[in-house]
Structure 1
Amino acid sequence: MKRPESPLRTAATFAAVAVCAATAACSSSSDDAGTTESSDTYTWWDPYPQHDDTSEWAQRVAACGDEAGVTIERTAYDTTALTNQALLSAQEGTAPDIILLDNPAVSTLADTGMLTTMDEFGLDTTAMDENLLAAGVVDGEAYGVPIGANTLAIYYNQDILADAGVDPAAITDWASLTAALESVTAAGHKGITFAGIGTEEGSFQFLPWFWGAGADLRQLDSPEAVEALELWTGWLDEEYAPNSVITNSQNTVWEEFLTGTFAFAENGTWQVNSAAEADFPTGVIALPARDGGVAPTPTGGEFITAPVQNDTGRYEVTTQIVECMTTPEGLVETATTFAYYIPPTQEGQEALVADQAELEPWVDAVRNAKGRTSDDLGTDYPLISEALWTAVQNALSGAMSADEALQQAQADADAATS
């Protein structure tokens, strides 16, 4: 997932479904795309319309159907349309056998009762990294398994750091990162760029600093949260970061970094290939926690889920298809197909690093990552996230102090989730 999108509140999502159904503008699939009448055909939905039937991804999906002795009928939607279409299919009784969902949407669909738990489904999840599986856990039950994860780290321009005498290996906490920013700007370069935009992308990029300070999403106005937001506002005050971060998307951040004028950029696994092709040498360091170590970063990526079927006998073959997609070899293939998803199992991660050692920093980041809906936030997460990104906007723009902005955010989150 290159751009994390927040799941919609159930009622709002059903409203969106109604609009889609009325306008027929949200999907190009036929009305019976989710039917499962044939025992030889299994239906599969995913959020990858960029991968057509001739792509390596589509061929992988089809091959897992062949291995299970069935034909897979694959339909692709964009991320938001997929969630809407899934909810509509639940109402109509036409849910597909398998849906790949952006991980924050799992709790939204689970909340409707349309997904089986992995225990009910009969899939063993013990090999999955607990921190990655947690994004699909609701009330102690796993409603899906990750096919991989992407997350955030800090890319750096090696030429700029060398010119400023900065050793990237010495950046291990907030103090050393801020010192590095002081050095590169003193040497005449730009410091760091990130996405503080007023959308889910803004929350996604702020969460490593928020969690890295020890803050909790149930208490947005804690001293730790204030300290994290003051880190960002302090960088703007010192001109270590540009004012453009207030409206930057993650794509804009990357465009700024590729100009070669910034020392650092916060961005994701999906930029690995682009970084390798940049006009200057690049490197990657983990996002540091306030007092040292690696900060928890939010996980992006999709989960395989199994909607409830009237014919429970279908689950046996569906399990075979899912198991085929989540072997160590299959997870590595997914990782490289999507450049790059980090496998959610230790065996898969080790296989990936053995093949591509330069991805080890990303494996470390994913091992320390955290699901946005973890801690049983479930469908409360998008409401809390909106309050958080609004606070970031208010503080970065100077409309409020960090403390005031987060106090308002907590009040808004309490009102929205009560």
Structure 2
Amino acid sequence: MRFKTILTAAVSSVIVLALAACSGSSGTKEGSGANGDSSKQKVNIVFWNTGYPTVDENNKSKKKEDFYIYQAIKRYETAHPEVSIEVQDVPSGDELFTKFQTAGIAKNGPDMTVIWSGTYMLRFKQFLEPLSGYFTPEEKSRIVGWDAGTEGFKEGGEVYGVPFSTDGTFGLLYNKKILADAGVDLEAHPLKNFNDFEEMLLKIKSKGVTPLGLKDPDTFYHIPNYWIAQTVGSAGLEDLVSGKKNFSDPQLVPIIKAWNDMYAKDLVISDQSDQSLQLFYQGQVAMVAGGNGAIANARKALGDDLGMMKVPDFNDQVLIHDGGVGGVGATFVVTNYSKKKQEAVDFIKFLMSKEEQVNKIESGEAGLSVVKDVDVSQMASEPLILEQQEWANEPSTIFWPDNVYPAELTSEISSLQSLAMTGKMTAEEFMGKIDQKRDELLKSSR
């Protein structure tokens, strides 16, 4: 009887515990799915944001929830309650590259980020998830600029980056009033070549105004590098990278000499910050290098006095006329060590959807689009944004040369360009150093 009583008690205890377990599974626990399924843990996607603005320099009181990316995330999380998106703002460029490299080695980086396209992105291929299999032909067909995120920059290569946005065609923004005071009318007398460009800058300087404001080393890739690209053509850029053609070619050295001449004549102010851009907004600098991203703030600052032009041809002998550098300058990437690859891709697809591309443009935070099913002209009232969209689709726009060069070669150019611009290194020496670095890279890759 004693044994039977103990056995009965033990069985009863098991039944009670089992019932308690069943009862617990019917409630919603923290981290459970929307329908109370505890097997579905909430997925948290870490997004290193380098491409969407979250600070308004002209309105520091603007809250994060007022920016497009946070509004988009709220819409996504509402539609997908099992997913949360954690945004971590990270500066782009060299700071991101260092941080991303370190995180990749440790496998503790983001699930996704936005990184500069071309060789900037491909240098991290060991940390990137191949994305070709995640997109159907139909999904890819509505987005332009896939080459910028594809190995080999052509169809058939493995895709590692989804086009984030187009930067249009990099040109020059200018203050119409300052130019008019200097007797310059670009609409009546457009600039044909570098000589015209320098003559215009000299006229502006004679009025006591700083003619041109630049950001180093970025602007080197937007202006003199464009002159190099338009002189040799797209195939010539590949020849420069492969060693079939040299940067020190007598056809190209005069470009660096001309660029240096502008500095020697005190026609330029430059540094590694956005100081020149702020001075432009304040009417103290006549012209800055800029793309579509600077138009909105420039319009607020200058109103009807804001003008825009393409970088003039270097000379009449160039192979590509009336263009500029541009295209898809950044791509979405997913890390191959992420445990939420599909969820990250799904979020990218959401951001690239027609509805979200419309929302993004209507926010005023980005004027151009890389999707074919959105007509920017129906939404954007800013005429310079519309002009940028037209420029971006012109065959004279050359894909960013620095996105084509090996990353190490770009770094070498960045580190040496200030010496060439300030005359501490001759144009011949500068171009020779680039050739030397290129040859070292070619030799090490064999």
TM bucket, shorter chain: 0.7 to 0.9
Amino acid at match of 1:288: P
Amino acid at match of 1:235: M
Amino acid at match of 1:134: D
Check conservation: 2:380, 2:386, Cα contact below 8 A. no
**Structure 1 residue 100, shift from structure 2 partner:** 2.7
Whether 2:249 is the aligned partner of 1:222: answer yes
Distance 1:389 1:106, change over 3 A: closer
Check conservation: 2:46, 2:85, Cα contact below 8 A. yes
2:288 aligned residue: 265
Whether 2:165 is the aligned partner of 1:136: answer no
**Structure 1 residue 172, shift from structure 2 partner:** 4.5
Check conservation: 2:162, 2:333, Cα contact below 8 A. yes
Question: Deviation per CA, 1:51-86, whole angstroms, max 9, x where unpaired?
Answer: 686343122024234435632231314136655565
Q: Distance in 2 between matches of 1:204 and 1:165?
A: 26
**Structure 1 residue 349, shift from structure 2 partner:** 5.6
**Structure 1 residue 202, shift from structure 2 partner:** 4.3
Q: Aligned to 1:101, which of 93, 102, 115?
A: 115
Distance 1:179 1:364, change over 3 A: farther
Distance 1:275 1:204, change over 3 A: same
Whether 2:198 is the aligned partner of 1:178: answer yes
Distance 1:249 1:298, change over 3 A: farther
1:409 aligned residue: 434
2:36 aligned residue: none
Amino acid at match of 1:306: V
Q: Aligned to 1:209, which of 221, 227, 247?
A: 227
- Structure 2, unmatched stretches of 5+, are 1-38, 56-62
1:282 aligned residue: 306
Q: Distance in 2 between matches of 1:386 and 1:318?
A: 30
1:370 aligned residue: 399
Q: Aligned to 1:294, which of 289, 312, 322?
A: 322
**Structure 1 residue 141, shift from structure 2 partner:** 2.1
Question: Deviation per CA, 1:171-223, whole angstroms, max 9, x where unpaired?
Answer: 3432433343344345554432323x3x4564455433332333635243234
Check conservation: 2:417, 2:430, Cα contact below 8 A. yes
1:54 aligned residue: 65
Question: Deviation per CA, 1:398-417, whole angstroms, max 9, x where unpaired?
Answer: 12321222112221332255
Q: Distance in 2 between matches of 1:172 and 1:329?
A: 40
Q: Distance in 2 between matches of 1:224 and 1:38?
A: 64
**Structure 1 residue 325, shift from structure 2 partner:** 0.7
Check conservation: 1:136, 1:142, Cα contact below 8 A. yes
Question: Deviation per CA, 1:262-303, whole angstroms, max 9, x where unpaired?
Answer: 332212333223212325722111223334743332457542
Q: Distance in 2 between matches of 1:116 and 1:258?
A: 41
**Structure 1 residue 127, shift from structure 2 partner:** 2.7
Question: Deviation per CA, 1:352-401, whole angstroms, max 9, x where unpaired?
Answer: 665443312322444425245654x4xx22x2113223443222211232
Q: Aligned to 2:411, which of 377, 383, 386?
A: 386
**Structure 1 residue 103, shift from structure 2 partner:** 3.1
Q: Distance in 1 between matches of 2:82 and 2:226?
A: 43
Distance 1:341 1:153, change over 3 A: same
TM-score normalised to structure 1 length = 0.73
> Where in structure 1 do 4 or more consecutive aligned residues deviate above 6 Å?
309-312
**Bigger CA radius of gyration:** 2
Matches within 5 A, 1:337-376: 337=363, 339-340=365-366, 342-348=368-374, 350-351=376-377, 354-367=380-393, 368-372=397-401, 374-375=403-404
Distance 1:392 1:318, change over 3 A: closer
Q: Distance in 2 between matches of 1:390 and 1:88?
A: 22
State the secondary structure of the residue aligned to 1:125: helix
Q: Distance in 2 between matches of 1:162 and 1:266?
A: 19
Q: Aligned to 1:235, which of 241, 262, 266?
A: 262
TM-score normalised to structure 2 length = 0.69
Whether 2:96 is the aligned partner of 1:70: answer no
- CA RMSD of the aligned region, Å? 3.5
**Range with greater deviation from structure 2 (332-341 or 264-273):** 332-341
Whether 2:155 is the aligned partner of 1:126: answer no
Distance 1:98 1:237, change over 3 A: closer
Whether 2:351 is the aligned partner of 1:304: answer no
Check conservation: 1:65, 1:71, Cα contact below 8 A. yes
Question: Deviation per CA, 1:285-329, whole angstroms, max 9, x where unpaired?
Answer: 1223334743332457542223336879x62x5444222211234
**Structure 1 residue 158, shift from structure 2 partner:** 0.7
Amino acid at match of 1:58: Y
- Structure 1, unmatched stretches of 5+, are 1-36
Percentage of pairs with the same residue? 14
Q: Distance in 1 between matches of 2:368 and 2:160?
A: 20
Distance 1:263 1:44, change over 3 A: same
Q: Distance in 1 between matches of 2:203 and 2:95?
A: 46
Amino acid at match of 1:145: V
**Structure 1 residue 38, shift from structure 2 partner:** 5.5
Amino acid at match of 2:114: L
